[in-house]
Amino acid sequence: MSRELTPQEAAERSLIKKYRKELWNPFIAAVKRYELIAPGDRIAVCISGGKDSMVLAKLMQELQRHTEQPFELVFLVMDPGYAPANRALIEENAARLGIPITVFRSDIFDVAYQVEKNPCYLCARMRRGFLYSKAQELGCNKIALGHHLSDVLETTLLGLFYGAQLQTMPPKLRSRNFPGMELIRPLYCVHEDAIIAWKNYNGLRFLQCACRFTEERDGAADGVGESKRQEMKLLLRELKKTNPNIEKSMFRAIHGVQLDTFPGFKFRGRAFAFPEAYNLRGASSAEDEAAL
């Protein structure tokens, strides 16, 4: 008679068995496609306490366990001012899932609450800086965040609809303020629905953002409140009803941007207006003209 699996063992097995196609395979695909991890890396996996960062931590543990190219992991939790019950939930989930977390404190929530315009943007930037600093202090050369495919697409729509720009969230980037540090997003090819399914299958309850602004959104009758990102999430959900492949199409589109068709673009912070961009392109081929 086989023994009953512990919650940790069940969660780990479901990652590479039941949800192999939805979680493990796209996670590995992102790591390889975007060259996110190299032998000898020391990576700080940043855990907010939510479902995304927790599943990232477990996937990174599994990869470390099975890879032939060794790398080190630190599981970093920043407490930006959580209520005691919320911090306790993070610690309980980490223990339940076998994630050895390192916790440090900051006053980000207190600062963000004082700002009326774009408090979430300020909070995100401050979090990033604190995480880079602590990770570097612990000898890490990379931080890993739990942004997934759905975040990527929502960010693309936000930029188009509200930022007047065509841009998206890259799978990795170098830090400007912390030389030698990189940010990686190993869940880049993982859909949020798969993370939710894994969470529910294992009967797990994770922390939400746990700040006043999120509580206002959750209490709004339309489910959006002041969150434009939530608005994009709901928009994509509606569009999928008539076009089930819309997210796949968008994801492919950001990998195949046709700069030759744009009247202007930016590269490395420099803007190229139409006349300069036009001259750089030179003469178009008959095939190009036919396509346009």
* Cα–Cα distances in angstroms (integers) from residue 103 to residues 27, 60, 100, 138, in the given order: 25, 18, 10, 12
Same domain assignment for residues 211 and 80: yes
What's residue 202's pLDDT? 97
Per-residue DSSP letter, 263: S
Largest CA distance in the chain: 75
Question: How many CA within 13 A on the CB side of residue 243?
Answer: 9
Same domain assignment for residues 209 and 101: yes
Helix (H) or strand (E) holding 176: none
Give domain status of residue 2, yes or no. Answer: no
Same domain assignment for residues 279 and 219: no
Range of the domain at 267: 262-291
CATH code of 192's domain: 3.40.50.620
Same domain assignment for residues 46 and 181: yes
Euclidean distance between CA atoms 247 and 241, whole angstroms: 12
What's residue 282's pLDDT? 72
Same domain assignment for residues 163 and 281: no
Same domain assignment for residues 53 and 188: yes
Give domain status of residue 266, yes or no. Answer: yes
What's residue 223's pLDDT? 40
Q: With the CA atoms of 282, 288, 289 and 290 taken in that order, what torsion angle do they form, in degrees rounded to the nearest 10?
A: 170
**Residues 43, 69 contacting (CB under 8 angstroms):** no
Mean pLDDT of 45-53: 95
Euclidean distance between CA atoms 268 and 274, whole angstroms: 17
Which pLDDT tens digit goes with each residue over 99-129?
999 999 887 776 766 666 666 666 777 888 8
Same domain assignment for residues 28 and 116: yes
Across 145-154, b (16+ Cβ under 10 Å) vs e yields bbbbbbbbbb
Same domain assignment for residues 230 and 133: yes
Which pLDDT tens digit goes with each residue over 24-42?
999 999 999 999 999 999 9
What's residue 226's pLDDT? 57
Per-residue DSSP letter, 244: T
Structural domain count, the chain: 2
**Tokens found for residue 47:** 């855990």
Per-residue DSSP letter, 152: H
Residue 210 has pLDDT above 60, yes or no: no
Q: How confident is the model at residue 52 (pLDDT cuts 50, 70, 90)?
A: very high
Same domain assignment for residues 145 and 189: yes
* Cα–Cα distances in angstroms (integers) from residue 160 to residues 56, 163, 183, 256, in the given order: 28, 6, 24, 17
Rounded to 5 degrees, φ, ψ at 94 are -60, -45
What's residue 169's pLDDT? 96
In sequence order, the β-bridge partners of residue 75 are 45, 101
Same domain assignment for residues 26 and 145: yes
Mean pLDDT of 75-101: 94
Residue tagged 């202007």 (tokens): 264
Same domain assignment for residues 271 and 240: no
Euclidean distance between CA atoms 180 and 132, whole angstroms: 11
